[in-house]
Chain A
Amino acid sequence: MLEVRDLSVSYGAIRAVRGISFSLGRGELVSLLGANGAGKSSTIKCIAGALRASGGAITLEGRDITAASPEQVVRAGLATVPETRDVFPDLTVAENLMLGAYIHRRDQAGNRDNLERMHALFPRLSERSNQAAGTLSGGEQQMLVIARALMSRPSVLLLDEPSLGLAPAIVDRIFEMIETLKKSGLTILLVEQNVNQALAVADRAYVMRLGSIVASGTADEIRSTSDLSAHYLGS
C-alpha cells in the first residue's frame, strides 16, 4: 500500500532521517515509535509532501509520490493529521470539515454521507458544527482534525501523535476511535510516544532512534525483544 525506501530528510547540514525503509500493507495499522527528535515527524511531513526528501523513494499503491506536492499526495489517497493539531481556528467546525472534502467538492451527495458518518463517529462535532474551531477543547480539536482528514476519503491515514497533550480519558477515546477506523479497513500509520497504547492497537511497529530504524516487528515482538526504554531514554 505505502512503501518507503531509503528515505532521507535533511535540514541543511542536519540529517533528521537517515535512509529508513518501511512499508504498510492494506488495512494494516503500523506504529512508528521513538523519542523526541528521532525523526518521526520529519518522516510524516516528508510522506505528506510538506517536506522534500533528500534521498530515497515513497510509493503509494505503486505510484511514486516522492516529489509530489501536499495537494497531489492527498489526491493520491493519503491524508495526514499533523502533530500540531492544525484546525483553522477562525473557521467553524462545519467549514473545517467542508475543506477536508475539498478534493471531492463536486460530489456534494457523497460529502453529505461522509459528514453523517463523521458526526456518528464524533457526536461532539455535530453539536458544535457552527462554532469556531478555535473555541473547541484540545480533545475536540484532535477529533476535528481526524474527521477533517477522513473527509478526503483516504486509503491511507497518517496520524502524528494524536494523544499529544491530551487528558488520559480523552486519549483512551482517541485510541478507541483509531481501532474503529482500523476495523473499517483503513490503512493507518500511527506515530506515537505513548508506546503501550500504540502497541496495543498496532499490528506491527518500527522503532526510530536518531533518524534510523533500530527495531521492527509485530507489536508482541517489539514488546518482548527490544529494550524500548533504552531507545527512549537514549542510553
Chain B
Amino acid sequence: MAFTIQFIIDVLSLGGAYALMALGLVIIYGILRLVNFAYGELIMVAGYTMYLSSGSGLPWIVMASLAVAMAVVFGIFTDYAAFRPVRAKSVTAVLITSFAFSNLLQNAALLFISPRPRNVPLPPIFSQTVEIGGAITPVRNLITIAASIVLLAAVAYLMRKTTLGIAMRAAATNFTMARMLGVPANLIISSAFALSGFLAGVVGILWIGRIGTVVPGVGLEPLLVAFIATVIGGMRSLPGAVVGGFLLALIDTTLNYTLPQDLLKFRDAFTFTLVILILLWRPAGLIKGPASGQRT
C-alpha cells in the first residue's frame, strides 16, 4: 500500500511538472508551428531571478512571483528578439534565431553570473517530508501536484471560456481566418508567449526546487522533456501535451522503480526506446491536433 501511494505521488508530481513544461512549448507551436528552443532559458531566467533576489530580504512568495514575472517578460521578449523579425521569412530562419537567443541567454548567465551552481532561496517546506499512508514523501512533491492541478485547470478555463483563449485556439487552426475576423495577430502571439513564459516560470521554481541550485544549462532537460512529451502527445494538441507529460513521467518513474541498480544510469535509453515504439504505433502522437492550417 505504502509502495503504491509512493509510486502514484511520484508519477503525479513528475507528470504534473512535465505536463506544464510541455504545455508551455505546445502553446507556441500550435499557433506559430515553430518550436521555441529558447524555452528552457525561461526556466533559467526564473531560477536566476530567485538567486539574484535572495539577498533582498523580500518574503519568498514575492521573490517567486518576481521570478515568474521575469519569465513572462523574457517569454514576450523572445518573440520580439527571435521570432517577430524573421517570422514571415522561413522556418529555418526562426529555428536558428531561437537557438541563437537560447545561446545568448545562457552565455549571458555564464558571463555575468557564474558557470557554477548558485543557490536558490527556498522556504523550509520544500525540504520537509510528510508521511501519507506509510509512504514518506517530500512536501514539494505535493506542492508540485497541487500547482499543476491548479494551473492545468486555469489554462483549460482560459482556453475554453475566455474570448482570448477561444481566439488563441482559433488562431492555432487557421491564423489567417482568425485575423480576417479582426483577431489581432500580434496580440495572440504575445499572449501565447506570455502564457508560455508563465508556465515556464512556475515550472522553473518547482523544478529548481528539487535541486536547490541554478546553473546556466538548467533549462536543457526541461526543454528536452517538454519536446518529447509533446511529440508523444501530439505536437498540435494541448490535451495531448498534458497526456504526453504524464505518460513520460509514468515511463520514467516505472523504470526508476524496476530497473536494477547498474542499469539505472541507462534509464534514458530505455525511455527513448519506448518513445520510439509509441511513435511507430502512432506517428502523429497520441492525440491529433486540429486539422492542419497554414504556417503564418
Query: Which residue numbers of A lie inside 8 Å of B, CB to CB?
Result: 48-50, 69-71, 73-75, 79-80, 82, 86, 88-91, 95-96, 98-100, 102-103, 105, 134, 148-149, 152
Known: A71-B185, A89-B291, A105-B163. A48 touches B180 (CB 8 A): yes
Mark contacts of B58-71 with chain A using CB atoms, 8 A cut-off: 1 yes-contact digit, 0 otherwise.
Answer: 00000000000000
Interface majority SS (helix, strand, loop, mixed), chain B: helix
Query: By the criterion CB–CB under 8 Å, are A82 and B180 in contact?
Result: yes
CB-defined contacts of B183 to chain A, threshold 8 Å: 71, 99, 102
CB-defined contacts of B169 to chain A, threshold 8 Å: 88, 90-91
Q: How many A-B residue pairs have CB under 8 A?
A: 70
- Nearest chain B residue, comparing its CB with the CB of A151: B181
- B185 to chain A: closest CB distance in Å? 7
Question: B166-183: which residues lie under 8 A (CB-CB) from chain A?
Answer: 166-167, 169-170, 173-174, 176-183
Across the interface, A74 reaches (CB within 8 A) one of B176, B182, B185, namely B182
7 intermolecular pairs with C-beta atoms under 8 Å apart: A69-B185, A73-B180, A74-B182, A82-B177, A88-B173, A99-B163, A102-B163
Known: A71-B185, A89-B291, A134-B291. A50 touches B180 (CB 8 A): yes
Query: By the criterion CB–CB under 8 Å, are A89 and B173 in contact?
Result: yes
B290 lies within 8 A of chain A by Cβ: yes
CB-defined contacts of B178 to chain A, threshold 8 Å: 88, 99
Query: By the criterion CB–CB under 8 Å, are A71 and B182 in contact?
Result: yes
Known: A71-B184, A86-B174. A91 touches B166 (CB 8 A): yes
- Nearest chain B residue, comparing its CB with the CB of A50: B176
Query: By the criterion CB–CB under 8 Å, are A95 and B166 in contact?
Result: yes
| Cα-based distance from A122 to B246 in the complex (angstroms) | 43
Query: By the criterion CB–CB under 8 Å, are A70 and B176 in contact?
Result: yes
Known: A50-B180, A71-B183, A88-B178. 5 other contacts (CB 8 A): A49-B180, A71-B180, A102-B183, A103-B182, A149-B181
Query: By the criterion CB–CB under 8 Å, are A89 and B290 in contact?
Result: yes
- A172 to chain B: closest CB distance in Å? 26
Query: By the criterion CB–CB under 8 Å, are A90 and B173 in contact?
Result: yes
CB-defined contacts of B291 to chain A, threshold 8 Å: 89, 134
Query: By the criterion CB–CB under 8 Å, are B179 and A70 in contact?
Result: yes
| Cα-based distance from A229 to B179 in the complex (angstroms) | 37
Known: A48-B180, A50-B180, A99-B178. A88 touches B170 (CB 8 A): yes
Specify which of A69, A74, A99 lies most central, judged by the most chain B CB atoms within 10 Å of its CB. A99
- Nearest chain B residue, comparing its CB with the CB of A104: B182
- A135 to chain B: closest CB distance in Å? 13
CB-defined contacts of A152 to chain B, threshold 8 Å: 181-182
Query: Which residue numbers of B lie inside 8 Å of A, CB to CB?
Result: 163, 166-167, 169-170, 173-174, 176-185, 290-291
| Cα-based distance from A148 to B178 in the complex (angstroms) | 11
Query: By the criterion CB–CB under 8 Å, are A50 and B166 in contact?
Result: no
- B177 to chain A: closest CB distance in Å? 4
Query: By the criterion CB–CB under 8 Å, are A102 and B167 in contact?
Result: yes
CB-defined contacts of A48 to chain B, threshold 8 Å: 180
- Nearest chain A residue, comparing its CB with the CB of B180: A70
Query: By the criterion CB–CB under 8 Å, are B177 and A69 in contact?
Result: no
| Cα-based distance from A91 to B173 in the complex (angstroms) | 10
- A84 to chain B: closest CB distance in Å? 8
| Cα-based distance from A75 to B291 in the complex (angstroms) | 28
CB-defined contacts of B166 to chain A, threshold 8 Å: 91, 95, 98-99
Query: By the criterion CB–CB under 8 Å, are B290 and A90 in contact?
Result: yes
- B29 to chain A: closest CB distance in Å? 16
| Cα-based distance from A74 to B176 in the complex (angstroms) | 12
| Cα-based distance from A152 to B182 in the complex (angstroms) | 8
CB-defined contacts of A69 to chain B, threshold 8 Å: 179, 185
- B26 to chain A: closest CB distance in Å? 15
CB-defined contacts of A89 to chain B, threshold 8 Å: 173, 290-291
Query: By the criterion CB–CB under 8 Å, are B170 and A71 in contact?
Result: no
CB-defined contacts of B177 to chain A, threshold 8 Å: 82, 86, 88
- Nearest chain B residue, comparing its CB with the CB of A51: B176
Nearest 10 A-B pairs (CB), nearest first? A103-B182, A70-B179, A86-B177, A74-B182, A88-B170, A70-B180, A102-B182, A90-B290, A71-B184, A71-B182
- A134 to chain B: closest CB distance in Å? 7
Query: By the criterion CB–CB under 8 Å, are A99 and B170 in contact?
Result: yes
CB-defined contacts of A70 to chain B, threshold 8 Å: 176, 179-180
- A46 to chain B: closest CB distance in Å? 13
Known: A89-B291, A98-B163. A74 touches B173 (CB 8 A): no
Across the interface, A71 reaches (CB within 8 A) one of B174, B179, B290, namely B179
Query: By the criterion CB–CB under 8 Å, are A74 and B181 in contact?
Result: yes
Query: By the criterion CB–CB under 8 Å, are B181 and A100 in contact?
Result: yes
- Nearest chain A residue, comparing its CB with the CB of B176: A50
| Cα-based distance from A89 to B289 in the complex (angstroms) | 11
- Nearest chain A residue, comparing its CB with the CB of B177: A86
| Cα-based distance from A80 to B169 in the complex (angstroms) | 20
CB-defined contacts of B184 to chain A, threshold 8 Å: 71
